[in-house]
Amino acid sequence: MDHKSRVFASVFAVPSLSHTTPTPIATPDLGYTGPGKSFGSPFASAAGGPHRAVRRNLAWSAATRFLSLPKPPLGNDTSVDFERIPKSAEVEEALQYLLVGEGKSEQEHEEGLVEWYTNEARLHFATYVRPALEELWDREIDLRHAWEVLDETQRILHLVQHLYLQPFEDHVLPHLYNQGSSSTIRPGNSEDMVTQAPGWKMKRDIQAVFAHCLPPQRFSKTLSYVLYDSGCKLFRIYVRQDGLQASATPEDSQAFRKRLVALLQGLELVGLGGDNAQKAFAHAMDKLMDSFIVSHYLKVDWFSKKSMVPHLRMWIKDGFCPLVELVLDCLKCDPDHVQPTELQQWQDMALGRLGRARVDNLFDFVINWDKSLGAILDIKEYLKVSNAKQHLTSSFSQQVSRRLLHPGATTTFILNVYIYVIRAFHELEPKGVLLERVARPIRRYLKERDDTARIIISSLLTDLDDESGTKFAPGSELSYEIASEMHKPIANVSQDQDEELNWNDMNWQPLPSDASPDYKKAKVEDVIWFLLTLWDREDFIDELKNILGNHLLRCQDPEYEKEIRLLELIKIRLGDDKLQACEVMLRDVLDSKRINSSIQGSGISGLLQTPQGAPRTPQPSGRQLGLGPSTPSWPPPQPKGPKLNAQILSSFFWPPLREDDFQVPEQIQTIQKSYEANFERIKGMRKLRWMNALGDSSITLAFQDRTEDFEKLTPWQVSVICAFEPQPGEEWAAGGNGKGKATSSITRDVEQLSTALSMDTPLVRQALGFWVGKSVLRSTSPDTYEVIESLATTSNKADADAAAAAQEIAQVQAEAQSAAVKTQEDVFQEKKDVYRSFIVGMLTNTGNLPVMRIMMMMRMMVQGGFPFGMEELKGLLAEMMAEGKVVGLGGEVYGIRKA
């Protein structure tokens, strides 16, 4: 059989082409007589030709009948013994003749005995063994039976290999080796000599048949699972990637290791431990490393706050590498031991996988700072791996965008998370490059929120004491994290103009190589510095003036310690050249305290006596404003009669304050006049302008059946309730000048109160709702109210429900009107008419203009400037377009509408 036929038969088993059956004993074939030769001469061609063919056929028949393999299938019988023809002298001579004698194949058309036996083994395997293996591997292997399938496959192939190789090694190889030993041995490569040996070739051919009869992908997958399952059981991994549940009782490690070694060594003996087995092993070890990290090292050490990386490196060295060396030794790999460079690579690989798993949950670790310090330390080690910083930046930015920067998150929560990010990333990388990258979207989003500055400054000015437990509740606008920063010591920072030219700085370090071009590390990068630098310096100072002014007017601390500390912190971090207005505001409230003490010491309270004979007369003890709101006296005045403390404000330095004008009670007006006189005497004829809407008061109300005290009231609430005092002609309501019981309650309506007090109707309604909620007044008809002199005369259910509803509404209205400083929206609404007139005049005189030019002209020409942005201007122009005063010409260009 030629070479092409043998190649075809090795893939497609065709008995007629791939194999010759053993030749039976028959009449020798003497061939044909050649032309010109005598017929039947026994001496013709005596040296060869037909006589060699006869001898070779006889020897071939004897040798092939002796070496032929058994025909019955092996079945499940582990014994391969069978009745073989005894080896006679004739068989020995035939083998000698065919293998090393004259009958050795010398021409291409002659088949050698070794090639015949190889084809005999292939045909026998295809006929009797392969069907049994196909029955095992024809279907998808259930992972629960993977061990049994591989064990059975290894057993069958081992028996078959022994069946094929034993006759060859016992009867064929001795003749070949005897010939080789008698020939001249030439020096050469010993490995090449082994690979050229007939026994090695025979074994290689048989094992190639074994390997090709099994489906490669299915076998590789099954072997990979068995190796992965072995690692899971040896290392007691409970979170597996195959979905199987780990056994409740741990396996015997030694017995399981021996079973694994026996299986791998058996597969190697039958030729299944080659490249496919090594690839399956690599895949299994890759999955095993992931599963081990997930099972044992993804847990965060919340208590000791230590890193898991040292333990992981130790496991790679003392657990993972020994298993790899054991498998490599069983599979006869070269080299069969782990190199130091490979150990380092595996440790880096494990660290990278642990780090990526940690980074995927970095947002959760950040919001749980600093209990998650151990996980942060793991990520810090991971940053040493190549491309780790880029992965961390992109992954964390996506987490922040998805879970934080959306309308559902409150500004307080975003600020708290931002503080956690600052602290965690300072631990990750003290240089601040990563923090600069991941904080950009958070800072940009916080700038867009209107309440960010108010929450920051209000939190910095808030005490940490929270007896009620509601000050820092999740829905509150105060941040505990920001407030706690005020209790940390102020860093001592030298004000060098150029840090890079400070040659005396022994702690100087060059800029990080991965920093952005605009990166510049500040000397003080604490949480307050990051919060204060959210805006430009001028914008922040303007916002600080508004918030600080509102806070100073309501501060209960007589020493203003937190306010002084806050200004010192801001001076250190932003400089003191822009804080003149804030310093004047703080000095005003401190000087007001001293002025109040001086005026009160002059006997102002004795200038007024409380009226007599009016049991329902409110007794106010208030704090009012001279050119601004007032603060309570310290300590509160104890003598009888109304008392007044005022705050004297420098109007030029304070932000715009609310100026609701109304009549205060006559007793308060008398005290105000006396206060003015004493102030002019002390301050050299300087005048005061009272801002009554910004004060707060405490008052005592006397009724027929009770007396009630109220504190921290707004001035308009006091004015409204004082309006229910008996006026001249209403002595009947006072019970005859205070003697006896009143015949009926005094009644007032909204219009009367608004006219008498010169007060806006919304303020009147808010005050009335407040007193209804306190069960002092009740509504008798729409917009009409009367005093509840006796609670016993009320209809409990109706009045209680009305009081509860009114109190809730009044509380909401009071919160909306409690701000002493005007908001930007209030200022814009007040000056809207001025802006409208200016825009109409400008467009009439200059023609069509773009929005940017209109805003620039308004900032330069309007008195007081235009301290608003593009959105406010566009909204104003849209309103004017709706009213038909201006028209949009496209491209954000506007002009005057012509009739």
Q: What pLDDT score does 14 carry?
A: 52
The answer to whether 553 touches 694, Cβ cutoff 8 Å, is yes
Region 27-55: mean pLDDT is 53
- 657-727+745-821 and 824-896 share one CATH topology? no
Q: What pLDDT score does 738 carry?
A: 44
Q: What pLDDT score does 806 carry?
A: 55
Of the listed ranges 41-55, 626-640, 859-873, the least confidently predicted one is 626-640
The C-alpha atoms of residue 21 and residue 574 are separated, in whole angstroms, by 101
State whether residue 539 is helix, strand or coil.
helix
- Measured CA to CA in angstroms, residue 729 lies from 512, 734, 751 at distances of 85, 10, 20
Region 670-682: mean pLDDT is 82
Query: Residue 819's Cα: distance from chain center in Å?
Result: 38
Q: Does domain 657-727+745-821 have CATH number 3.30.160.110?
A: no
| Rounded-to-5 percentages of helix, strand, coil across the chain | 55, 5, 40
CB atoms within 10 A of CB 852: 11
Listed in sequence order, the residues at least 6 apart from 305 whose beta carbon sits closer than 8 Å to its beta carbon are 370, 371, 373, 374, 377
Residue among 553, 291, 552 at smallest CA distance from 567 = 552
- Measured CA to CA in angstroms, residue 417 lies from 400, 423, 443, 707 at distances of 10, 10, 12, 49
Q: What pLDDT score does 396 carry?
A: 92
648 phi, psi to nearest 5 deg: -95, 115
Q: What is the pLDDT of residues 338-375, one digit of tens each?
A: 788 888 888 888 899 898 999 999 999 999 888 888 88
pLDDT tops 60 at residue 81: no
Q: What pLDDT score does 342 carry?
A: 83
Most confident of 112-121, 356-365, 655-664: 356-365
Most confident of 52-56, 155-159, 499-503, 677-681: 155-159
Q: For residue 99, which amino acid is it?
A: L
Region 248-269: mean pLDDT is 79
Tokens of 45: 């061609």
State whether residue 682 is helix, strand or coil.
helix
Q: Which residue has the higher pLDDT, 737 or 818?
A: 818
pLDDT tops 60 at residue 726: yes
Rounded to 5°, angle at Cα 865 from 862 and 867: 135
Q: What is the pLDDT of residues 606-659, one digit of tens each?
A: 333 333 333 333 444 444 444 433 333 334 444 456 777 788 887 777 777 777
Of the listed ranges 564-568, 678-682, 827-831, the least confidently predicted one is 827-831
Most confident of 416-425, 461-470, 718-727, 751-760: 416-425
Of the listed ranges 34-43, 78-87, 512-521, the least confidently predicted one is 34-43
The C-alpha atoms of residue 422 and residue 897 are separated, in whole angstroms, by 53
544 phi, psi to nearest 5 deg: -65, -40
Q: What pLDDT score does 796 carry?
A: 54
DSSP 8-state secondary structure symbol assigned to residue 462 = S
The answer to whether 691 touches 627, Cβ cutoff 8 Å, is yes
pLDDT band at 191 (very low <50, low <70, confident <90, very high): very low
pLDDT tops 70 at residue 740: no
Q: What pLDDT score does 819 carry?
A: 56
Region 171-187: mean pLDDT is 64
Q: What pLDDT score does 44 carry?
A: 41
Region 724-745: mean pLDDT is 58
pLDDT tops 80 at residue 869: no
Q: What pLDDT score does 421 carry?
A: 92
Residue among 228, 173, 218 at smallest CA distance from 197 = 173
Question: Does residue 635 have a cis peptide bond before it, meaning omega lies within 30 degrees of 0?
Answer: yes
CATH of 824-896, one of 3.90.226.10, 1.10.10.10, 3.90.950.10, 3.40.50.1000: 1.10.10.10
State whether residue 428 is helix, strand or coil.
helix
* Share above pLDDT 70 across residues of the chain, in percent, rounded to a whole number: 73
Q: What pLDDT score does 704 carry?
A: 80
Q: For residue 579, which amino acid is it?
A: L
Q: Which residue has the higher pLDDT, 884 or 35?
A: 884
The C-alpha atoms of residue 104 and residue 259 are separated, in whole angstroms, by 46
892 phi, psi to nearest 5 deg: 60, 35
The answer to whether 624 touches 695, Cβ cutoff 8 Å, is yes
625 phi, psi to nearest 5 deg: -120, 135
**Rg, Å, the chain Cα set:** 51
State whether residue 83 is helix, strand or coil.
coil
> Which DSSP string do the residues of 228-294 spell out, in sequence order?
HHHHHHHTT--S-TT-PPPPSSPP-HHHHHHHHHHHHHHHHHTT--SHHHHHHHHHHHHHHHHHHII
- Quick check: pTM over 0.75? no
Domain locations along the chain: 405-495+514-535, 536-602+642-655, 657-727+745-821, 824-896
The answer to whether 531 touches 537, Cβ cutoff 8 Å, is no
Q: Which residue has the higher pLDDT, 78 or 602?
A: 602
Residue among 362, 448, 438 at smallest CA distance from 394 = 438
Which residue is it, tokens 């929120």?
449
Tokens of 206: 């048989």
Most confident of 25-39, 84-98, 118-132, 196-210: 118-132
Using the CB atoms, write b or e for 572-581: b if 16+ within 10 Å: bbbeeebbeb
Q: What is the β-pairing status of strands 644-648 and 619-626?
A: parallel
Q: What pLDDT score does 608 carry?
A: 36
Q: What is the pLDDT of residues 207-243, one digit of tens each?
A: 888 888 888 888 888 888 888 888 888 888 877 766 6
Rounded to 5°, angle at Cα 851 from 847 and 854: 60
Q: What is the β-pairing status of strands 849-850 and 696-702?
A: unpaired
The C-alpha atoms of residue 524 and residue 894 are separated, in whole angstroms, by 48
Of the listed ranges 74-88, 524-538, 660-674, the least confidently predicted one is 74-88
Tokens of 9: 């038969």
Helix count (H) and strand count (E) of the chain? Answer: 36, 10
Q: What pLDDT score does 190 carry?
A: 46
What's the mean pLDDT when you consider all of the chain? 75
Tokens of 403: 């879970």
The C-alpha atoms of residue 164 and residue 34 are separated, in whole angstroms, by 43
Q: What pLDDT score does 398 carry?
A: 92
Of the listed ranges 294-298, 422-426, 587-591, 823-827, the least confidently predicted one is 823-827
Residue among 808, 799, 765 at smallest CA distance from 780 = 799
pLDDT tops 60 at residue 123: yes
pLDDT band at 485 (very low <50, low <70, confident <90, very high): confident
pLDDT band at 804 (very low <50, low <70, confident <90, very high): low
pLDDT band at 97 (very low <50, low <70, confident <90, very high): confident
Of the listed ranges 74-83, 118-127, 442-451, 762-771, the least confidently predicted one is 74-83
Residue among 378, 426, 438, 448 at smallest CA distance from 529 = 426
User: Distance from first CA to last CA of the chain, Å, rounded?
Assistant: 110
Most confident of 199-213, 374-388, 655-669, 861-875: 374-388
Listed in sequence order, the residues at least 6 apart from 455 whose beta carbon sits closer than 8 Å to its beta carbon are 411, 412, 415, 477, 478, 479, 482
